Amino acid sequence: MKNKKFLVVGFIFVLSISTFFADAKEHPTINILDNKQTINMIGGDMERSAAFLLKSTNPKEIANWVYKDIDLKVCRVSYDKKQELVEGEKTLEFYDNAIKAMQYVKNARPSVKFWGTLKSDYDGYGAENNLPDWIYKEYVDKDYNPDNLDTNKYACFLADYLKYHQDHKVPISYLSVTKEWGQVVTAEKEKETIEKLKDLLLNNNNYKKIKVPLFIGPASWGVGGGQKFLETVKEKNWSNLYYGFSTHDYDKPKIDSWKSFVDTSHSMNRFAWNDESNLGAGGRFNGNEPPISSTIDAYLKKTTFYRAGLDGEVLFENWSRGLSVETRSIYFIENQPGKRLRGYYISKLFGNHIYNWTYFDSSLNQLNDVDTMVFRHKNRLILWVLNKSENKYNNIEVISNKINFDPNIKVHQRYWTETTKIEGKTKSFYPHKNHFKISVPQKSISAFLLKLQ
């Protein structure tokens, strides 16, 4: 699979450290190990918050904060049943405010790619339909039998969405035929819809100039549901329809579930992503900072899915969506300027040091309440240390066996606790050639940036 893995000759990290530190077992240690997948997706999200960007007094500045100052390559947006609630009565101007927000994003990052997914905030698990009722044959209230989904009508609906956005110079590069709603848009129905949509875009004169997007399935609510979808696609040999596969993780998956999802996707030579990853910057805090423990928990989830082999993620809801009770990493209420909170600065450091970087395994000794992530790009390395405990750890030995750190260039540490300023606190020090010592405060997120020889 392209870009999935690469080997750096002579720079494979190994676990054995005894030749360098005879007393390593007596100290807390972080051992940098082998290189794994290269990250090829990092994005932001405004599926529910695009139009509300215009309600701020500084929309251009907010778009620049997220899509210019952070190296986000993708922006997730939504298609919505309100574009045609009554069959034949198209109201595509419904998207105009979202398109204005997309234009702000595109001005901030001209190369950005937009990813369309279904707006599923309607009561699709109860009485209300997430798609227009007319897309179902013989639709009856609460009847979500997938056999009633008319894929011809659904394909036309999606073609209209793609055309309107391309006509407004914000084309959709990636498309998920659904989001979360796997009990209606099954793998079989998704296949039918994709094939009929592609036929419309390639052969129907009304849509012939519209670029066919790359399809990403299934944008499932949980990893378990996504895994079932992938198994069907693999069994039926339908993977040629897809660029990759994505899922959310609201079913609280363990690493084995993530690994099954990743391995199944990779076995079909396709990428695997989390398209709604938690920033740990939100919650019902009325614009105040969430506790640092929430942010630590969000980044601990990243250690799990990257260890399982995930190829990237989309950071969910970078700014407010109109509910003043909800804190976001950039918070504002109507007719007020957006302000950056702590979660923004953490996500900025994270987002600027992951795309096209390679994930490395790492192991820990005597650090039961700590976890780590390591990424490398050429001669640069970033080590994340996440301490969820009340313990402060001093003199942790960071060790690698077959690579040298540059002893003439300082390691730069930036860390956040409950009491640091929102930009974090910084330290710097010189490493030794193959090791250095660090300290991490209690309940903290730390990132260490360094150069390699």
Q: Is the peptide bond before 218 cis (omega within 30 degrees of 0)?
A: yes
Q: Strand 380-387 to strand 370-377: parallel, antiparallel, or no bridges (unpaired)?
A: antiparallel
Burial pattern 341-380, b for ≥16 Cβ within 10 A else e, equals bbbbbbbbbbbebbbebbbbbbebbebeebbbbbbbeeee
Query: Rounded distance, CA 374 to CA 383, Å?
Result: 5
> Which residue from 203, 190, 128, 181 is spatially nearest to 155, judged by alpha carbons?
190
409-421 pLDDT tens trace: 999 999 999 999 9
The number of beta carbons lying within 10 Å of the beta carbon of residue 138 is: 9
Q: What is the average pLDDT across 371-398? A: 97
**Residue 115, helix vs strand vs coil:** strand
- pLDDT at 26 (0 to 100): 61
Confidence of residue 139 (pLDDT cuts 50, 70, 90): confident
Q: What is the average pLDDT across 23-28? A: 60
Domains and CATH numbers, the chain: 24-37+359-451 (2.60.40.1180), 40-277 (3.20.20.80)
Confidence of residue 355 (pLDDT cuts 50, 70, 90): very high
User: Looking only at Cα atoms, what is the longest distance across the chain?
Assistant: 76
pTM to 2 decimal places: 0.93
**191 membership: H or E segment, kind and range:** helix 187-203
Q: What single string gives the DSSP state of each residue in 125-155?
A: TTTS-SS-GGGBTT--TT---GGGB-HHHHH
Q: Is residue 21 predicted with pLDDT exceeding 90?
A: no
Helix axes 151-167, 187-203, angle to 10 degrees: 50
Q: Is residue 237 predicted with pLDDT exceeding 80?
A: yes
Q: Is residue 17 predicted with pLDDT exceeding 80?
A: no
Least confident of 42-46, 111-115, 388-392, 398-402: 398-402
Q: Is residue 160 predicted with pLDDT exceeding 50?
A: yes
* Torsion region of 43: left, alpha or beta (phi above 0 gives left; psi -120 to 50 gives alpha): beta
Q: Is residue 163 predicted with pLDDT exceeding 90?
A: yes
- pLDDT at 13 (0 to 100): 36
- pLDDT at 399 (0 to 100): 96
Residue 3 · residue 40 · CB < 8 Å: yes
How many residues does the structure list for the chain? Answer: 453
Two structure tokens written together for 431: 């490493």
Q: Strand 411-416 to strand 425-429: parallel, antiparallel, or no bridges (unpaired)?
A: antiparallel
Q: What single string gives the DSSP state of each residue in 195-218?
A: HHHHHHHHH-TTTTTSPPPEEEEE
Confidence of residue 127 (pLDDT cuts 50, 70, 90): confident
For residue 270, the Cα-to-chain-centroid distance in whole angstroms is: 17
Two structure tokens written together for 22: 């005879």
For residue 80, the Cα-to-chain-centroid distance in whole angstroms is: 21
Rounded to the nearest integer, the mean pLDDT of the chain is 93
The number of beta carbons lying within 10 Å of the beta carbon of residue 86 is: 10
The number of beta carbons lying within 10 Å of the beta carbon of residue 426 is: 10
166-202 pLDDT tens trace: 999 999 999 999 999 998 999 999 999 999 999 999 9
Which residues, in sequence order, are bridge partners of residue 314? 43
CA 282 → CA 4, 270, 295, 342, 369, distances in Å?
A: 32, 31, 9, 10, 23
Query: Rounded distance, CA 412 to CA 223, Å?
Result: 36
Helices (H), 31-123: 59-67, 96-108
